[in-house]
Amino acid sequence: MDDLKVITASNIINLRTAKGLTQAELGELLNYSDKSVSKWERAEAVPDAYVLKNMSAIFGVSVDYLLSSHDEWKPPESFAEDERNFHSKVITAVVIAGIWTLAFLIYIIGWLLEANWWLIFIYAVPVSLITLLVLNSVWERGKHNRHIIHALVASVFITVYLTFRSYNPWQILLLLVPGELIVFLSFRIKKSQK
């Protein structure tokens, strides 16, 4: 049924545009709203037999022509998905840039107070990775989360080490290897197929 919707939608779009009609004009000729025509052209529904018969008369084709494939049309949702992917990447970049701008602002404030707060840039790394992980999980459905989590675990250990470096806590870095191993193995776990 989905193929029939897509084929019919493609034919309606091609015939309507070839005739120079808008969706509203076609809808008026059929005694339907432009929303109905839009729904047919988005392949969300197929017009009933009565409407198809009237369309065939308007376009000068058979009903069979309206229901048969003549080209390779793709539903407009594919374009919307590309646009959504672009917007999600731009939003992610803006949020990450905001985190780093805030870190830079805090560093400048420290500099004006004659304090050396360079660690703020180190703290910005795990915060950026956590933000990236959340946004990636929402928009990309977890694609590349494994790599983000590996980087996050490493950045947390390095951040803790650099924060407490005056106490010489090099043992913390020894925990990095088993921590990364746990992340690696956890992504190897798969659901059993029944």
14 and 59 co-located in one domain: yes
As for how many domains the chain has, the answer is 2
Same-domain check for residues 172 and 84: yes
Residues 14 and 85 placed together within one structural domain of the fold: no
Answer yes or no: is 194 within a domain.
no
Residue 20 contacts residue 59 (beta carbons within 8 Å): no
Domain presence at residue 72: no
pLDDT at 193 exceeding the cut of 70: no
Task: Read off the pLDDT of each residue in 150-154 and give the average, rounded to a whole number.
Answer: 89
Q: Which whole number is the average pLDDT over 45-52?
A: 90
Residue 160 lies in a domain: yes
Instruction: Quote the pTM value.
Output: 0.51
Co-location of 62 and 85 in the same domain = no
Q: In sequence order, which ranges of the chain are alpha helices (DSSP H)? A: 2-19, 23-30, 34-41, 49-59, 63-67, 77-112, 119-139, 145-163, 170-174, 176-186
How confident is the model over 100-148, as pLDDT tens digits? 999 999 999 999 998 888 899 999 999 999 999 888 888 877 778 888 9
Q: Predicted confidence band at 72 (pLDDT cuts at 50, 70, 90)? A: low
Query: Does 192 have pLDDT greater than 70?
Result: no
Pick the last residue of a domain from 67, 93, 124. Answer: 67
136/47 same-domain check: no
* 137 within some domain: yes
Q: Is pLDDT of 74 > 60?
A: no
**Residue 191 resides in a domain:** no
CA distance 121 to 102: 10
pLDDT beyond 70 at 78: no
Residues 102, 164 within the same domain: yes
d(CA 22, CA 109): 59
Domain residues for the domain of 148 are: 77-186
Whether the predicted pLDDT of 176 surpasses 90: no
Rg of the chain (C-alpha set):
29
